Amino acid sequence: MKWFMPHASSEETAREAYESIKRHVSDVLGVSRFSDRRIRRIAFSHNTKPVIAEVGQTMHLREIREEVFAILYEPERDLYHVCTPSRGVLRGMSVLVGANEVSSTEDFDSK
């Protein structure tokens, strides 16, 4: 599947929004660098319960019931950052998922 940013009206707007999310998460959590991967979906375990985070879909995790706008990977700390409106996009810190909790990932097509 081709990369997209939910609710973006153009590819340029999508790129700007994506970079804005990366800057926000970096500022809030002090991330020095994110991977260049464009991640579409991750499956992970939280308190032994399976969770799916997929861009454009609602994630159900604890009290969080929000659409996923981006999933970023931080290689230095081996962490995934799941970004929803209240967790990493408009405010707050992203949902942090350790790579050791992730059972599968799927990236967007590279073209």
Six token digits for residue 32: 């020095």
pTM of structure:
0.95
Six token digits for residue 88: 């990493």
pLDDT digits (tens, 9 = 90+) for 28-75: 999 999 999 999 999 999 888 999 999 999 999 888 899 999 999 999
Instruction: Pick the closest to residue 18 from 65, 81, 75 (CA basis).
Output: 81
What percent of the chain has a predicted confidence (pLDDT) above 70?
99
Looking at every residue in the chain, the average pLDDT score rounds to 94
pLDDT of residue 105: 98
Instruction: Pick the closest to residue 82 from 103, 60, 100 (CA basis).
Output: 60
pLDDT of residue 43: 98
Instruction: Pick the closest to residue 69 from 50, 96, 98, 94 (CA basis).
Output: 94
